[in-house]
Amino acid sequence: MKQLYILCLSIFLMSCGNEKNEEQTEESHEETDQLVITKAQFDGENMELGSFSEHDFNSVIKASGIIEVPTQNQSNVSTFVGGYVTSNPLLIGDEVKKGQFLVTLESTDYVEIQQQYLEISEQLNFLKSEFTRQTTLYDENITSQKNFLKAESSYKSSLAHYNGLKKKLQMININPTSVENGTITSTINLYAPIDGYVTKVNVSNGTYVSPADIILEIIDTHHIHLELSVFEKDILKVKKDQAINFRIPEASDSIYKAKVHLVGTSIDPSSRRVVVHGHIENEHTAFIVGMFAEAEIVVGSSKGTALPKSAVIQVEDDYYALVLDSESANAYQFTKVKLEIGLQTEDFVEVLNTVSLENKKIVVNGTYMLLNDIEGGGHSH
């Protein structure tokens, strides 16, 4: 009986001990979910209290591309007749106006064209006169049809040759009237076809350029746009006038605005992507053609109840907020509450379980310091 009494007493004491340990564990767990902080410390750490707000959450399609200009705003300067560069005063980055002098070329070919034009011009006067005479004689049956046709053929052939050489002179910027007056030059000047900036200079003095060579490249940057590349699986969601948010990751963290202007109608067979053309709002003068851009095309939008990301604490795969429980003259008491997270933007997080937190004050800034006190370290959004 004595041994049985001792055994029962031991079981009872062990049971009481387990209940006490469970109570201590629950109390310890409750303590880790709560924090008391003085108002002096709260203000010293620049913490702030706030609440939920309505925020727009966008459905977006990610895309990448470059800053471009329309094809009509780009011009490659070349020559119709080859020659040697004798004057090339422009550098990359120089601004030019339409019609401004660019390059001087020199060649004996220019002299030969002018000689041919001058010779045919002199011959043409005689041939025209002879054709007129033969026409009159033929009409009066004084000359044969053979003589008339020969005069007509010579005149019209020479006239075609004359007009062709005249057009060629105009194309290489030589005035035909000056040539007819006896002025022959060995040089020609090339002029800017558009307003813009010089982006490439492929020659130097003494370089020989043929009609196939590009001497200069000029780009007009007054109308820059986005050329984005969108995956085939997303393209049916993209429509004209949808908003685009983009940035230039290598140059700035700023977010710029654009709108979808054109959606391509063909898919690149190798990349399975479609080109989307976007017009930039308030075109930024610092953009340079060819800059890489990362973009998000907004294909849908919805409103949601949200907190700033600075208010949300991430602990492994769970998210929390610190909710004000009570306030005294000198201190605040907070409780860590688990959140159900929805959509996210760069600055806000959608919270789905807001019913139990309505009208509650939440720490919206300074949560990282509080998390250190509660968890002994962590990661704050």
301-336: per-residue pLDDT in tens? Answer: 888 888 888 888 888 888 888 888 888 888 888 888
pLDDT per residue over 15-28, tens digit each? 555 554 444 434 43
Whole-model pTM: value is 0.63
pLDDT of amino acid 365? 78
What pLDDT, on a 0 to 100 scale, did the predictor assign at position 14? 52
Beta-bridge partner residues of 187: 106
Of 27, 8, 173, 28, the residue nearest 101 (C-alpha): 173
Identity of residue 95: E
**Mean pLDDT computed over 181-206:** 94
CATH fold of the domain at 73-107+186-220? OB fold (Dihydrolipoamide Acetyltransferase, E2P) (2.40.50)
How far, rounded to the nearest angstrom, does the alpha carbon of residue 193 sit from its chain's CA centroid? 26
Distance CA(333)–CA(35), nearest Å, equals 6
- For the chain, the structural domain boundaries read 35-56+304-380, 60-71+221-303, 73-107+186-220, 109-185
pLDDT in tens, 349-358: 888 888 777 7
pLDDT at 195 exceeding the cut of 80? yes
Contacts of residue 75, defined as CB under 8 A and 6 or more positions apart, other chains included, come to 192, 193, 194, 196, 217, 218, 219
Largest CA distance in the chain: 165
What single string gives the DSSP state of each residue in 195-220? SEEEEEE---TT-EE-TTS--EEEE-
Q: Token pair 């401004």 is at which residue?
A: 100
Classify domain 35-56+304-380 by CATH number.
Answer: 2.40.420.20
pLDDT in tens, 38-55: 888 888 777 888 888 888
Buried residues in 315-324 as b, exposed as e (16+ CB within 10 A): beeebbbbbe
Give pLDDT, residue 135: 85
Task: Give the alpha-carbon dihedral of 315, 320, 325, 329, to 10 degrees.
Answer: 60
Topology given in CATH for the domain delimited by 60-71+221-303:
Elongation Factor Tu (Ef-tu); domain 3 (2.40.30)
pLDDT tens sequence across 115-168 = 999 999 888 888 888 888 888 887 888 878 888 888 888 888 989 999 999 999
